Amino acid sequence: MSGIRRRATLAVVGAAAAALLTGCGLADRVVGLHPAPTEQVGGAPLNEETAGAIVSRVVAQAEAARAATGSSGERARKAVLTGSALDLAEAAVSSRTKVVAPDPLATPDVPKVLAIVKGRTWPRTILATTLDAASTTQYLHVLTSASPTSPFVLSASVPMLAGASVPAIGPVPEGVDTVRDGTGLVAAPAEILTEYAGALAYPKPAAADHIDLTDVLSTSLRGSAVSQAKTFGKLATLAQRQKVDGTPTSFRLAGGGALVFGELTRTDTITATSGAKAVTVPAEVAALLRKSRITKTVTVTSVESVVFVVPATGNATVIGAAEQLASAKGS
Amino acid sequence: MAIAKKLLSLALAIVGLVLLVTGLWFATHLGTSGDATFRWTASGTSPVVLQPSLINRVDEPLTVKVTPAAGDSVWTGIGAPSDVDAAIGTTPATRLTRVALRPWSVLARATGSGTPASVADAEIWRTRSTTSGAVTIAVDQRTAPESIVVRGEKSPLQSVTVTWRHRTWFYQSLVLAFVGLLLAAVGSGALVAGLRSGRGERS
């Protein structure tokens, strides 16, 4: 029995000595080492301050790029703009629309970050707003970063319609979900855009079952088509059609709806009737054609960026829009 | 029973000795300020990533000092670990993973291959800056976990040192050494007494 006890004692003492000689975590305990905390991957991937600095930089660079000319201007626009923001800027160039360069001495508009799309994956998206002090126009901006090493670029920059507002989105640090389908909405964002495009067609607009068309933009577009057609009288016919470009970018609102950014291309076709010798076209079209009268057909293309609030119930409404004449072709 | 007592006394003496040496060793490295400073001598041009396993493992403020080559600047970015990993991807980087007590240094691991990622273009950083000359970064554990990326603007970095300051660590080390001294004294005393009494019984 004493032999067994002796061996057991030897084993215990040996093990204790070996453990202590190898440290047994002694150093770790002295300095308080512990595993690094686990990263929280929910919520917004950027803090509000960082996102605000990014928006300031991108908006300022975008303004400068829009006003830049020549090949360097083209490179600058492609470096900082994408999507509808780039299309509108390029349309301004192709239509020779004069863009006023930003005043380097003017105080830049201070952006307010409205939301950052949650999650750690790419592409990443920031929704922000700025108030243009000169025109007192509120702008909505969408910025995207395609990959971890790609800087944010401006993918949409749309002035809000007078009196319009953005419904609550939720706290910025919590992040916002993007919306890809019509779950919880009166219709999917893509359907709303298609429906809107159809509703603005002239002379045969389609029914818009999910959109309120009483906003300033829709009323103006539909009204101008009618008045323009009346102006042409029997000398020419006017046809307008809208095509949805790309995939809309949509953010989930706190109340369950969605804020939807979409892009449309509008094509106006003015065709002189057989009885007309020549038709006088609007001044901006005449400037592009370099003549004020046409004898056959002219096709005028415009790029439009629109922002909808699509609710869970009721009708979608347009809260922001930008339109830019792009080109005019014909004779 | 006598052998067991002798073995226990021997173990006590050994434990005491280990504690004594450990305590003195820590006290020597920490100094009276309680600064635990570890240094890594840089090599290569790839970005250097200080991982959370290095900078966020102690609940104490950490100071990182990055020294560039003479006349060069240091680019620094601090961001979420997953974002930093995504930005660097499979491109080359030197990852400082943890500190080693023997030798008293920062352990580094080279990863990836090809052309280094243009991490300065990435917009994943909570904060980023370019500083001429050596830069000192204060790491607050409230924002943990984070990764710090540093690189020389033109040339490879010279060194990176990390310092944790905890004034009581020095005194804790002294206490450890003192306890070790006591145990070693008691253990060796008991062992000597046991050996003498054993000899006396045999004679």
A31-41 per-position pLDDT tens digit: 678 899 999 88
- Find the helix or strand (DSSP H, E) in which A114 lies: strand A112-116
Residue of A nearest to B35 (CA): A31
- Residue with the bigger pLDDT between B163 and A2: it is B163
d(CA A117, CA A314): 25
- Considering A18-27, A73-82, A130-139, the range whose residues carry the highest mean pLDDT is A73-82
What pLDDT is recorded for position A11? Answer: 52
User: Do B121 and B139 lie in a common domain?
Assistant: yes
Yes or no, beta carbons of A54 and B123 under 8 Å apart: yes
Enter the ipTM. 0.75
**Side chain identity, residue B63:** T
Yes or no, beta carbons of B4 and A9 under 8 Å apart: yes
What pLDDT is recorded for position A122? Answer: 94
Out of B18, B22, B145, name the one closest to residue A37 (CB).
B145
User: Do B50 and B141 lie in a common domain?
Assistant: yes
User: Do B125 and B181 lie in a common domain?
Assistant: no
Yes or no, beta carbons of A20 and B14 under 8 Å apart: yes
A229-248 tens-digit pLDDT: 998 888 999 999 999 999 99
> A152 contacts in B (CB within 8 Å)?
123
User: Do B76 and B130 lie in a common domain?
Assistant: yes
Yes or no, beta carbons of B11 and A17 under 8 Å apart: yes
> B104 contacts in A (CB within 8 Å)?
none
Yes or no, beta carbons of A34 and B15 under 8 Å apart: no
Question: Omega of the bond prior to B81 within 30 degrees of 0, cis?
Answer: no
pLDDT by residue, tens only, chain B of 203 residues: 578 888 888 999 999 999 999 889 888 888 888 888 999 998 778 999 999 999 999 888 899 999 999 999 999 999 999 999 999 999 999 999 999 888 889 999 999 999 999 898 899 998 899 999 999 999 988 889 999 999 999 999 999 999 998 888 888 889 999 999 999 999 999 888 888 877 666 65
Out of B7, B36, B172, name the one closest to residue A9 (CB).
B7
Range of the domain at B198: 1-33+167-203
Could you state, in order of their start, the residue ranges of all structural domains in chain A? Answer: 48-330
What pLDDT is recorded for position B5? Answer: 83
Contacts of B69 (CB under 8 A, 6+ apart): B152, B154, B155, B156, B157, B158
What pLDDT is recorded for position A1? Answer: 45
Residue of B nearest to A41 (CA): B82
CA distance A309 to chain B (A): 29
User: Do B82 and B175 lie in a common domain?
Assistant: no
Out of A21, A32, A41, name the one closest to residue B58 (CB).
A32
Yes or no, beta carbons of B122 and A150 under 8 Å apart: yes
d(CA B5, CA A146): 71
User: Do B182 and B194 lie in a common domain?
Assistant: yes
Task: Name the token pair of A12.
Answer: 């215990």
Yes or no, beta carbons of B22 and A13 under 8 Å apart: no
Q: Is B103 near chain A, with CB under 8 Å?
A: no
Of A217, A175, A22, the closest CA to residue B22 belongs to: A22
Residue written as token pair 């006290």: B27
Of B112, B153, B113, B109, the closest CA to residue B135 belongs to: B153
Helix (H, G, I), strand (E, B) or coil at A218: helix
User: Do B160 and B112 lie in a common domain?
Assistant: yes
User: Do B11 and B42 lie in a common domain?
Assistant: no
Buried b (16+ CB within 10 A) or exposed e, A117-147: bbbbebebbbbbbbeeeeeeebbbbbbbbee
Q: In this structure, are strands A153-159 and A211-212 parallel, antiparallel, or unpaired?
A: unpaired
A96-144 tens-digit pLDDT: 887 776 666 666 678 999 999 999 999 999 999 999 888 889 999 999 9
d(CA A299, CA A272): 12
Task: Return the number of CB contacts < 8 Å for A and B.
Answer: 103
Yes or no, beta carbons of A148 and B121 under 8 Å apart: no
User: Do B71 and B82 lie in a common domain?
Assistant: yes
What pLDDT is recorded for position A147? Answer: 93
User: Do B185 and B98 lie in a common domain?
Assistant: no
Helix (H, G, I), strand (E, B) or coil at A239: strand
Residue of B nearest to A57 (CA): B123
Number of domains, chain B: 2
CA distance A130 to chain B (A): 21
User: Do B17 and B44 lie in a common domain?
Assistant: no
Indicate left, alpha or beta for B71 from its phi (over 0: left) and psi (-120 to 50: alpha). left
Alpha helices in chain A (DSSP H): 2-21, 26-31, 48-67, 70-80, 83-94, 189-199, 216-232, 283-289
